[in-house]
Amino acid sequence: MDKRMERRFFLRTAAVGTVVSVLGGGVYALASPDDPRGRQLRPDGRTRLPPGQRLLDALKPMGGEPGDPSPSAFRLKVYGEVDAPFEVDFAGLLAMPQVEQSCDVHCVTGWTMLDSRWTGVRVADLAERARVRGSARYAIFEAAEGYTANVPRAEALAPNVMVAHRFFGQPIPRPHGPPVRAIVPDLYFWKSAKWLRAIRFARVDEPGYWETRGYHNHADPWKEERNG
């Protein structure tokens, strides 16, 4: 299935809200529609379950061109509109201040997993080490095989945005982008780039892989920003 067909399939199933299998993968059970967590309010007053979403009980692997999953081969570069660009290996990432957080994941295809748990380093801490310039307005997450995702600076530096290396206390499983991926929980999950290689801070916006193929440039789940 080519990328255009994948996109139409994804958005069609998101609208219908009934397909719980992934392309070429397994079947995932719907969580109870009466799960009270979905009706809980976030600190910003919005419900935890965005409109048009259904609850699943597990994180679904959503494809993508895989990178090298080996921690020994991992390097993360932080560069662009910064005064102190740097590169860190996996051990160096683990040596930085670590945070563990529980967050909800929202996929543009229409599923949500509540209370996923990740461990990693806040992007804000990486940005502080790199001394991001005031001229930087966007963070561009760069991943394997040329995949990119663009996020406004203010949202990329939010306290819940991280470079994660563990999922529920274990190394990130292969379908989900190990050894390290971005986690941007308040935007649709395609912004949380898997097999992460770099974070580049930029003066101007640079729409990423899916954004240049018709997806919304911002991707707010509560506004249902699916299409561009």
Q: Report which of 63, 48, 190, 172 is spatially closest to residue 118, judged by C-alpha positions.
A: 172
Predicted local distance difference test score (pLDDT) of residue 64: 87
pLDDT for residue 97 is more than 70: yes
Beta strands in 25-66 (DSSP E): 54-55
Residue 123 predicted with pLDDT over 50: yes
Q: Quote the CA–CA distance of 216 and 207 in Å, as a whole number.
A: 9
What are the chain's domains?
3-223 (3.90.420.10)
- Model confidence at 150: pLDDT above 80: yes
Read off the pLDDT of each residue in 123-134 and give the average, rounded to a whole number.
98
Please say whether the beta carbons of 120 and 183 come within 8 A.
yes
Predicted TM-score (pTM) of the model is 0.87
User: Which pLDDT belongs to residue 90?
Assistant: 98
Query: Strands 162-167, 99-106: parallel, antiparallel or unpaired by DSSP?
Result: unpaired
pLDDT at 11 over 90: no
73: left (phi > 0), else alpha (psi -120 to 50), else beta? alpha
Q: How many residues does the chain have?
A: 228
Return the minimum-mean-pLDDT range out of 5-14, 69-78, 128-137.
Answer: 5-14
pLDDT attached to residue 29: 63
